[in-house]
Amino acid sequence: MTSERWEPAAFKARVDAVLHPFVAEEGDRFAAVDPALEPVAEQLGAAVADGKRLRAAFCYWGWRAVGQPDSDALVRAAASMELVHAAAVVHDDLIDDSARRHGRPTAHVALRGAVRGRPRAVAAARSLAMLVGDLLMGMAGQLFTTSGLPAAYLARARPLWSVLARELIAGECLEILRTGAEPDTAASLKVIRYKTAKYTVEQPLLIGGALAGASGRLRAGFSGYGLPLGEAFQLRDDLLGLFGDPEHTGKANADDVRGHRPTALLAETWRLAGDDDRARLGALLGRRDPDGEGLREVREVMRRLGTPDRVEAMIAARVAEAFDALHELNLPPHAETALTSLAHSAAARVS
């Protein structure tokens, strides 16, 4: 990637070149405490093996949008956003009891082998996965503070880390508290905003901008762009979760239905449904193992009510709002081009 041209594949390679050795080294140090820890250390590497590195990219362009030049130290700091994401994914999969991610067993499933034959083995594996997520979050802070950026730059951004953690955990808690409750669109959108939108787009942009010394006006513009785009990202994820191809998404279509999760897709369906459809949905949502016919029924109700199209419209409206905010910022052309491309990558994807 040149300093003025956005090349996503090249940027991903740069982030991976930071993440993979860093996590491998930390995993080796962790496993050196005792050989029994090796399976846990392996899950650290698995947690960062995949990903588009969107969060690192938003952090990078938060920096570049201020007028700062390309920087390997900044890429290293931006890569810490991917460790935050990895930690969140491990915890999210644990909370949702999801069995697969990126086509592989999730951490709490993979770690059952380490405790097979022990008392309460499933619970023990879940506990180990929780600690993997905790360790990844700690590693994120370590990578950020050892990025090589000047201490004064890091000090400008450090307060945002507590905001990021507080809002992310608040979103996860809200999802747990809303799971199984009567679907409500406004409540679902609030979960989306705090659980995903903020740490996926807004906070990485703000952290990158803070590192670069962004003005208050620019920081407000980052939020105006980042929040609706982050919401569009999760709304797309909800659609893919139920209607996407598992070969591309790497996740099971049944997860949101089985978990009776507070997605906007389900909430809008419930809002539009009549008594008969609500009764049928109520019988299907939250079933531990909905069969193929049950999933087909849920999809059929959604299509008949036009819910997927309504969610597509919600996505389009949020992307348009993000673009309006972006165009008002008068950024350097290369930064505006990159953030435009990233918006398309976040909102229009198949995995």
pLDDT tens per residue, range 77-123 = 999 999 999 999 999 999 988 898 888 999 999 999 999 998 999 99
* Rounded Cα distance, 20 and 90, in Å: 17
The answer to whether residue 2 sits within a structural domain is no
Query: Based on the structure, what is the number of domains in the chain?
Result: 1
Rounded distance, CA 106 to CA 253, Å? Answer: 15
pLDDT at 251 over 80: no
Q: Does residue 42 lie within any of the structural domains? A: yes
C-alpha distances in Å from residue 211, one per residue of 142, 202, 208, 345 = 16, 14, 5, 24
Its sign, for the CA torsion 287, 252, 38, 132, is negative
307 falls within a domain:
yes
What's the mean pLDDT when you consider all of the chain?
93
Instruction: Evaluate whether residue 317 is within a structural domain.
Output: yes
Per residue in 147-183, pLDDT (tens digit) is 999 999 999 999 999 999 999 999 999 999 998 888 9
Phi–psi pair at 112, nearest 5 degrees? -60, -30
Q: Residue 147 domain-assigned?
A: yes
Whether residue 81 is contained in a domain is answered as: yes
Crossing angle of the two packed helices 203-212 and 216-243, in degrees rounded to 10: 150
Whether residue 110 is contained in a domain is answered as yes
Chain CA centroid to CA 199, Å: 7
DSSP of 139-200: HHHHHHHTSS--HHHHHHHHHHHHHHHHHHHHHHHHHHHHTTSPP-HHHHHHHHIIIIIIII
Q: Does residue 350 register a pLDDT over 90?
A: no
Domain containing 67: what range?
Answer: 8-347
CATH of the domain at 248: 1.10.600.10
Assess if residue 1 is contained within a domain.
no
